[in-house]
Amino acid sequence: MPHPLGSKPSKIIAVHLNYPSRAAERGRRVPHPSYFLKPASSLSGTGDPLVRPEGCELMGFEGEIALVIGRPARNVRPEEAWAHVEFVTAANDAGVYDLRYADRGSNLRSKGADGFTPLGPRLLDARTVDPARITLRTWVNGELVQNDTTDTLLFPFAGLIADLSRLMTLEPGDVILTGTPAGASVVVPGDTVEVEVTAGATSTGRLSNTVTTGPALEEHGAMPRLDAAEAEAAWGPAHTPAPLLDPDLERGLRSVAVATLSAQLRKRGLPHMSVDGVRSTRPDLRMVGVAHTLRYLPLREDLFARHGNGMNAQKRAVEQLRPGHVLVMDARRDPTAGTLGDILALRALKRGAAGVVTDGALRDSAAVTELHLPVYHAGPHPSVLGRRHVPWDTGLPVACGGALVHPGDLLVGDADGVVVVPPHLAGELVADSREQERQERFITEQVHAGAGIDGLYPLTGEWTTRYEQWPDNQPAS
């Protein structure tokens, strides 16, 4: 089916990275948008095939929102930019990662093939659309794999238009592909990709394209090549990534008590690393994982509809979890409204989360306690978050229980509580904590035998010598 634009645009401009969920998935953020061009010959419409050349294995899909320029834009300011957009529609920024190595970042061959930019099926009048309240969804074979909104974009649409128009004239019919959220991955022949853009009650309908196999490329240039790095980039979360945390380091952190780690952190001038005021639903379970953060802000009723409903930051944070993540919530130490309930806790468990830490309240506490998932919280409360909180953003430094938690920090929890471990200190903390606990076992043994604690706790003088000669402190022969 022909694409809905009619005539071909002078250019198709695509944004590399624009959704926080995609940035979190990729593990990087950028200070300014970057772009690449796709040829107009790559345009197609709903029902047209996505042809994967024989010999290629990594056919990627990326559901996107496409902007169609309606009147020339040159040196426009952000506040004037949206008036230059005529239509909004759905797009699939498809490509084959097998050729990406040959393009040196241009994506020309990997994403510029005929049919690799389906658009449609319907165009939404931009005058009727709030650019900050658009929802993008993508399905593969009927399963929802991408679901995000434009309220937290790294680079709002008006900023993209203003940025590009500083250097070039955006002409009527030009298309801007505005980036893809988390969930983009690989499809194979026979798979059907559907993309839909909705703005309020209006919808583009589903842009539907099925992957087929095409003939092999003639050997006149670069040929498909598969390597591990490109495979991981193409598959995204569907690929089996390296563990977030080195398994040996994880075992080491599990082997020592939170109280010991806290003492060792204090010795290093870090006395404020505990998450205060939280208790665990499962004190029988130890927790070790990598921080993935979520921030709540105080409730403002006029902003809650925009930030609190739909696929809000709270739900996005759960869907972004990878095995080994600990979801850390900054709820302003306010325990008078729930920040997590049984359904999202179950979803976090299914996503492979190592635990959840919130300095706010927990709903459905009895049901959450039954899950094999340690959830540290400030207390149970029946109210939903909309009573006190607005879920605002993810993947940034937060304050939780008085502790500063940066994404990528390590969280260790047991029955005593939770401590934040800077990754660069983790190895030496484990070694020194094991030594501390070995000394404490010796001290405990002596106290059981009737010794007094003077000079024994902590070890000094003769007791130090006796500890060094202690059989449990000797290397195995």
Question: What integer pLDDT is reported at residue 316 of this predicted model?
Answer: 82
| Domain chopping of the chain, boundaries | 12-238, 272-421, 428-473
Q: Please, is 55 exposed, middle or buried when counting C-beta atoms within 10 Å of its C-beta (0-12, 13-18, 19+)?
A: middle
Provide the pLDDT for residue 237: 63
Q: Is 364 annotated as a binding residue?
A: yes
289 is in an annotated binding site: no
HEC assignment per residue over the chain:
CCCCCCCCCCCEEEECCCCHHHHHHHCCCCCCCCEEEECHHHEECCCCCEEEECCCCCEECCEEEEEEECCCECCCCHHHHHHHEEEEEEEECCEEHHHHHHHCCCCHHHHCCCCCEEEEEEEEEHHHCCCCCCEEEEEECCEEEEEEEHHHCCCCHHHHHHHHHCCCCECCCCEEECCCCCCCCEECCCCEEEEEEEECCEECCCEEEEEEEECCCCCCCCCCCCCHHHHHHHHHHHCCCCCCCCHHHHHHHHCCCHHHHHHHHHHCCCCCCEECCCEECCCCCCEEEEEEEEEEEECCHHHHHHHCCCCCHHHHHHHCCCCCEEEEEECCCCCCCECCCHHHHHHHHHCCCCEEEECCEECCHHHHHCCCCCEEECCECCCCHHHCEEEEEECCCEEECCEEECCCCEEEEECCEEEEECHHHHHHHHHHHHHHHHHHHHHHHHHHCCCCCCCCCCCCHHHHHHHHCCHHHCCCC
- Does the pLDDT value for residue 477 go beyond 50? no
Q: How confident is the model at residue 188 (pLDDT cuts 50, 70, 90)?
A: confident
C-alpha 167/C-alpha 160 separation (Å) is 12
Question: At the topology level of CATH, where does 272-421 sit?
Answer: Glucose Oxidase; domain 1 (3.50.30)
Q: Is 148 annotated as a binding residue?
A: no
pLDDT value, residue 1: 67
Report the distance separating Cα 354 and Cα 56, nearest Å: 36
Tell me the average pLDDT across 223-232.
72
Percent of the chain with pLDDT over 90: 71
**pLDDT reported for residue 389:** 92
Consult the annotation and say whether 98 binds a ligand.
Answer: no
- Mean pLDDT of all residues in 372-388: 93
Q: What is the pLDDT at residue 180?
A: 95
Query: What percent of the chain has a predicted confidence (pLDDT) above 70?
Result: 97
Segment among 86-95, 98-107, 183-192 with least mean pLDDT: 98-107
For residue range 402-430, what is the model confidence (pLDDT) as tens digits?
Answer: 999 998 899 999 999 999 999 999 999 99
- Mean predicted lDDT score pLDDT of the chain: 91
Taking the C-alpha atoms of residue 167 and residue 155, their distance in angstroms, rounded to an integer, is 18
Question: Which of the residue ranges 48-52, 127-131, 303-307 would you say has the lowest mean pLDDT?
Answer: 303-307
282 is in an annotated binding site: no
Return the pLDDT at 3.
Answer: 81
Question: Would the pLDDT of 56 be above 50?
Answer: yes
Is pTM beyond 0.75 here?
A: no
Whether the per-residue pLDDT at 127 is higher than 90: the answer is yes
Contact 107, 39 (CB under 8 A): no
- More confident: 58 or 176: 176
pLDDT at 372 (0 to 100): 97
Amino acid at the residue 158: A
Q: Please tell me whether 130 is known to bind a ligand.
A: no
- Out of 155-159, 237-241, 303-307, least confident range: 237-241
CATH class of 12-238: alpha beta
Top pLDDT among 411 and 107 is at 411
**pLDDT score, position 363:** 95
The answer for residues whose C-beta is within 8 angstroms of residue 437's C-beta and 6 or more apart is 256, 257, 260
Flag whether pLDDT at 374 surpasses 70: yes
On the question of pLDDT at 6 being above 90, the answer is no
Model confidence over 25-40: pLDDT tens digits?
A: 887 788 999 999 999 9
Peptide bond into 283 cis (omega under 30): no
Task: Please report the pLDDT score of residue 105 as a whole number.
Answer: 75
**Are 64 and 97 contacting, i.e. CB atoms less than 8 angstroms apart?**
no
Residues in a beta bridge with 328: 293, 357
